[in-house]
Structure 1
């Protein structure tokens, strides 16, 4: 066979393994739906992500990019929220599809499975860049999306976490091919842009780690060209990060995200003994969370193949040097996962488990590519079986009631390890058939088999399931005829899972589907003074006192708080108010449902955003008003020149023609017009805080892109096209272990 046909056959084999890994990942992901049809539609995906996508899609289809919504109150500062992905074209596509979708379950499930498949494709390419063979890269590609935290938390609920974990392998692969060689930086530029603009900080932190590692390694090697390329990659990422996260950082002082404390409450972090269960897909370990000291999900599960590690040792110095980036990420992720449960605004370090899985799976793929089958001996097989027995024993000690599932899994793993050793010796493998290919196929098949006991033990995520309707039309009919702006008071979590309850109320961001503006939405940045005043949590649920607060008279302005907010409808939950609340003057009960009381004003008020109170002797007329700006004509100025608007006093407001005063009640935007004259126009305008810096950062990032492309093109002209093969860490790629018995 000549070199060209061999090269063509190799490329075809590589493509087939890549496509197979992606399709198998989709198959395994879809298989979970047979046991739990709503597996990928729980908790935050139900009451957070879908409604957010729906609203964003609605705004985009009307030709607007949402910046601020006064009617949404603490959930309406969209650039500060970050995770709306306002600069992300992938999020836009998901959002537009959500707006067109008739079934939120089908839409969300489809998105999740596609991202799991995207993750597999990225892992495959990343493993290949570290010199793993096609078959073992496919194994890594299948294993990473099966990681316990990815499956049971990110994929089931926390969509932006899944999006980040799916993009990181692509970003890392793109970085390696553009920094370690002279290949086009476009894949890195595109993937990193999408990753950063998702607005979820955990993936960005991983990007920082891999960039710093790459820079340090290039500096140690005194490779000026790689240093320059890494600095360009870092500058691009840093500038985008500034543009995306600066509004949230500058808004944080008025939110519950403020503070830099480091604490450990043993909440969603692990310990070293927990990590001993990383090879068992049915072990819970002892990760504490909302349900106590143990969470009913395999959150620290990494891969069933971990006990194979002794069979793949030792590894050559060249392989170790090539895998330094993987060792660095693995070490840091291990330290983080077992570290404090909160470091400043960053909470729940188990959320880094997908990246620990990534480092482990790719490392094992590289090791297997260079050690299997030649390095397999009886002694190493014995050590692998002993490792399996030890880690299973420690896992059993942590969670004795799970002994049945642990035993079943251990037996499957033991037979799989023995079968791999058998394949390594070439027994019953036809001549001309790659033992690596057969072994990889077996490893992938076992990964799928182990999904079965996992789904038997854990058929769904431990996170809440609210039973949200599978019809957008049905949700659009909720509170459709209410007057003006509305707010929900009481326990919104009650009646979760009760289908009929959604005829009377929605939850979190699903309120965006209602024609009535409702302020009880989902936010990751609760406004501290506002949420404390109304005892409102981040999903819009309140205590019973919230109703009294709304109907109480503010001591400073003399108006009811509901008037200051421009609220005309109040939906009270019967779970909190079993007896009919007595409406105050000007309000009446208009309907009683099975789970709610609906109160409305006798005379509805204009909604949030406008002027709700002026000081004694001061009068103004609203000339123009939008979500982000209000223009006022001063008619008279009295002894008290204050003007209160029904808006949260967010950083980012600028007042022209007057001065900004201390916020009423600690959260209502207030203007002091004492220095104005009758006839003057006062303009109150909101822009995301730090907007000029954001614009400059985006412009500089575009400049960095252009400089990098120009330098890369010049360098390629000087050196010629890059050689084919795997992208390495700056050292030659030794041949993989021969596919013959050692």
Structure 2
């Protein structure tokens, strides 16, 4: 083989080899945690939220339906407003269908998490390469970001949609820059941004807005018309999709607990400057306040140990600084938010943005050290890095002196890595110094990961040990007796595996054949929650049972009847003595953990007419999840008709008028002015539905037009043999 052929083969091997190493190292580090904690990726919100949600969506898709509203799910049933169901996202559909076909929810969720950690690693690799990092250092960046503390212990372990958002973001940013800066096809950006936005998790979209605005301003200042045009097209596409996905939640918020969310700092899941000192210490729990007190047991602020070696990557070349302006802008804004108030209206817990800060800082390190290594590993840089390790260790110790042993151990490992890196850089015996340095850095990363498995083996958001069997989950309440609700603290006693045969938690109820309303929602309906003292995960206080069996003063019916509830599961930890059932209800089963009460005559599922005023009679002629039609037989002076539905924004009444909701949360229709024999139809579409559909259609038109326009311009360019015009470049 000629020298040129050898060089081409070597370059080809590098193009494939470094990304492949990124994938293999990421998979190895992520999978190793399963050896210590087999359910590591099935914690908290994955167990009680995503698993059941994916199952339910997959079940609906396999039946040829895309769910919009489920009256029987009550406050958890407004799926379009919930957003995170990903109803328009084909990637989410694939996850949901495979979840429905899987027997093991744990194995399925674990596979999904590992896949997106790999997606994140490759996205960071591509982004680092685009900002100027050499392949080996870009590969290291790709391994480091999925190993950062918040990504591992919160997103990968529990918050599935946040992980998916973080994993897709580098791809969107890479594709945007590829399109705007380098005049390449917009197709990768259109696909990646569509997937990111339609996941329905707002933080990634916020970051996309930042990079779009930064691109627009930077190119406008430079008076670069073609790039401004491409950025405007990318922004219009993203803005229209954002309207489709998020406007229903915004318009629904006034009736939910999100509607009056304050701006305040409760010191909850946000950081201060001393917390950030532990960004390079992987074995320390910073003073991050959360549900577990002032210190959350997990390295939530840890970004990467190589940040302590940043002096080796400085100073950045002037060309690298200019190229890295978007990194500085996004990083500065994210840092301000992470240090900002814990609650900014409906946007809360800003520590969730720290993975984006990790992307920025690690990519900056990769870009800098690509230019500076090995020559930049000077004595001065060495001692500056050692000083950074010492100072940050002291600050971290000041925050948590109880952890002095692991702080000291981590500092020693970092110092040893620094010494080894300088030796590799300066020793004449070492060939391929960059390769040796990067592989060594990956080994150090593995050492730190092993320490995490030893000192912090679990997520601070723990698993509840639900059965790892779809069949077992389906066996709970298998014989449907109308709609059901759970009252009491269903969390109590979860450690007892036998208890799962009698009750489930939150979205795990989707596995049950019975329609159970005790589900997980991100938009708790305020008046409904106040009346039944029910929280966002479907748990209630002790008084909920009394409320359900109480008689509503206006209608004379029990609240359970107004909800069309026919089955009540009462937790024995909350009700140690058997509750006294009212007339028409019977204790159907006295279990070890629950009391199971059933109505003697089961009612139809929620969604229909449950009460009419004494002087009013109607006959239901049609009913489904999103609509009810009834013929008015007689309408008196009162004329109210009550339906077992929450009065969400988006309901429309044809032929009558919507009245004040009964009890503040039951959809009520006023038929006073309706003549006998006329039909009234109550239908639901997400609020501003015509606007949503118009925005979606316009977004598709922009995307398709952009692709067609670029294709036509390229054909004309080839036919003319000359340079593309400004329009063609767009």
Aligned to 2:279, the other structure's residue is in SS state coil
Q: TM-score, normalised by structure 2?
A: 0.97
| Residue in 2 that maps onto 1:73 | 74
* Distance in 1 between residues matched to 2:548 and 2:641, nearest whole Å: 20
| Residue in 1 that maps onto 2:488 | 490
> 1:8: how far off?
4.9
| Residue in 2 that maps onto 1:737 | none
* Distance in 1 between residues matched to 2:446 and 2:465, nearest whole Å: 28
* Distance in 1 between residues matched to 2:53 and 2:475, nearest whole Å: 18
2:192 is equivalent to residue 179 of structure 1: no
| Residue in 2 that maps onto 1:333 | 334
> 1:709: how far off?
1.7
Show the 5 A alignment for 1:65-464: 65-259=66-260, 261-430=262-431, 434-464=432-462
Q: Which sits farther off after the overlay, 583-592 or 27-36?
A: 583-592
8 A Cα contact 1:653 1:686, kept in partner: yes
Q: Which sits farther off after the overlay, 17-26 or 76-85?
A: 17-26
* Distance in 2 between residues matched to 1:512 and 1:108, nearest whole Å: 16
> 1:271: how far off?
0.1
* Distance in 2 between residues matched to 1:548 and 1:307, nearest whole Å: 58
* Distance in 1 between residues matched to 2:91 and 2:677, nearest whole Å: 48
> 1:453: how far off?
1.0
Aligned to 2:235, the other structure's residue is in SS state helix
| Residue in 2 that maps onto 1:731 | none
8 A Cα contact 1:75 1:526, kept in partner: yes
| Residue in 2 that maps onto 1:660 | 658
* Distance in 2 between residues matched to 1:259 and 1:320, nearest whole Å: 42
| Residue in 1 that maps onto 2:478 | 480
Aligned to 1:277, the other structure's residue is in SS state helix
2:33 is equivalent to residue 32 of structure 1: yes
8 A Cα contact 2:314 2:369, kept in partner: no
8 A Cα contact 1:127 1:140, kept in partner: yes
> 1:678: how far off?
1.2
Once the two structures are superposed, residues 164-207 of structure 1 have per-residue CA deviations (whole angstroms, 9 ceiling, x without a partner) of: 00000000000010000111111111010000000000000010
8 A Cα contact 2:533 2:543, kept in partner: yes
Show the 5 A alignment for 1:521-560: 521-560=519-558
When residues 612 and 489 of structure 1 are mapped into structure 2, their CA distance, relative to the original with a 3 A threshold, is: same
> 1:718: how far off?
7.1
When residues 128 and 4 of structure 1 are mapped into structure 2, their CA distance, relative to the original with a 3 A threshold, is: farther
Relative contact order, CA 8 A, sep 6+: which one is greater? 1
> 1:374: how far off?
1.5
| Residue in 1 that maps onto 2:467 | 469
| Residue in 2 that maps onto 1:16 | 17
2:633 aligned to which of 632, 635, 638: 635
| Residue in 2 that maps onto 1:596 | 594
> 1:644: how far off?
0.2
Aligned to 1:241, the other structure's residue is in SS state helix
8 A Cα contact 1:126 1:362, kept in partner: yes
2:616 is equivalent to residue 618 of structure 1: yes
> 1:2: how far off?
6.0
2:583 is equivalent to residue 585 of structure 1: yes
* Distance in 1 between residues matched to 2:554 and 2:623, nearest whole Å: 25
Once the two structures are superposed, residues 530-550 of structure 1 have per-residue CA deviations (whole angstroms, 9 ceiling, x without a partner) of: 011000000100001100100
RMSD of equivalent CA atoms = 1.3
* Distance in 2 between residues matched to 1:5 and 1:550, nearest whole Å: 78
> 1:564: how far off?
0.2
Unmatched segments (≥5 aa) in structure 2:
720-730
Aligned to 1:677, the other structure's residue is in SS state coil
* Distance in 1 between residues matched to 2:10 and 2:714, nearest whole Å: 28
Once the two structures are superposed, residues 206-238 of structure 1 have per-residue CA deviations (whole angstroms, 9 ceiling, x without a partner) of: 100111111111112111000000000010000
1:690 aligned to which of 688, 691, 695: 688
Once the two structures are superposed, residues 280-306 of structure 1 have per-residue CA deviations (whole angstroms, 9 ceiling, x without a partner) of: 001111110111111000000000001
8 A Cα contact 1:468 1:497, kept in partner: no
8 A Cα contact 2:615 2:635, kept in partner: yes
8 A Cα contact 2:629 2:682, kept in partner: yes
Q: TM-score, normalised by structure 1?
A: 0.95
* Distance in 1 between residues matched to 2:8 and 2:717, nearest whole Å: 23
* Distance in 1 between residues matched to 2:672 and 2:11, nearest whole Å: 78
* Distance in 2 between residues matched to 1:211 and 1:11, nearest whole Å: 33
* Distance in 2 between residues matched to 1:68 and 1:623, nearest whole Å: 20
Once the two structures are superposed, residues 677-700 of structure 1 have per-residue CA deviations (whole angstroms, 9 ceiling, x without a partner) of: 111111111111111111111111
When residues 8 and 215 of structure 1 are mapped into structure 2, their CA distance, relative to the original with a 3 A threshold, is: farther
> 1:575: how far off?
1.0
* Distance in 1 between residues matched to 2:496 and 2:329, nearest whole Å: 48
Aligned to 1:276, the other structure's residue is in SS state helix
> 1:482: how far off?
4.2
> 1:427: how far off?
3.5
Once the two structures are superposed, residues 628-681 of structure 1 have per-residue CA deviations (whole angstroms, 9 ceiling, x without a partner) of: 111101111122111000001111111111111111000101011111111111
> 1:6: how far off?
3.4
| Residue in 2 that maps onto 1:726 | none
> 1:706: how far off?
2.3
2:646 aligned to which of 643, 648, 658: 648
* Distance in 2 between residues matched to 1:720 and 1:119, nearest whole Å: 37
8 A Cα contact 1:182 1:715, kept in partner: no
Show the 5 A alignment for 1:651-730: 651-713=649-711, 716=714
When residues 719 and 322 of structure 1 are mapped into structure 2, their CA distance, relative to the original with a 3 A threshold, is: farther
Once the two structures are superposed, residues 463-514 of structure 1 have per-residue CA deviations (whole angstroms, 9 ceiling, x without a partner) of: 1321110001011010112411110000011112321111000110111111
* Distance in 2 between residues matched to 1:277 and 1:525, nearest whole Å: 34
8 A Cα contact 1:171 1:191, kept in partner: yes
When residues 4 and 190 of structure 1 are mapped into structure 2, their CA distance, relative to the original with a 3 A threshold, is: farther
Q: Which sits farther off after the overlay, 448-457 or 90-99?
A: 448-457
> 1:719: how far off?
6.9
Aligned to 1:335, the other structure's residue is in SS state helix
Aligned to 2:258, the other structure's residue is in SS state coil
* Distance in 1 between residues matched to 2:713 and 2:235, nearest whole Å: 19
> 1:590: how far off?
1.1
* Distance in 1 between residues matched to 2:7 and 2:328, nearest whole Å: 33
Aligned to 2:645, the other structure's residue is in SS state strand
* Distance in 2 between residues matched to 1:718 and 1:690, nearest whole Å: 41
* Distance in 1 between residues matched to 2:370 and 2:495, nearest whole Å: 48
* Distance in 1 between residues matched to 2:582 and 2:625, nearest whole Å: 30
> 1:626: how far off?
0.4
Aligned to 2:588, the other structure's residue is in SS state strand
Once the two structures are superposed, residues 116-148 of structure 1 have per-residue CA deviations (whole angstroms, 9 ceiling, x without a partner) of: 011001000000000100000000000000110
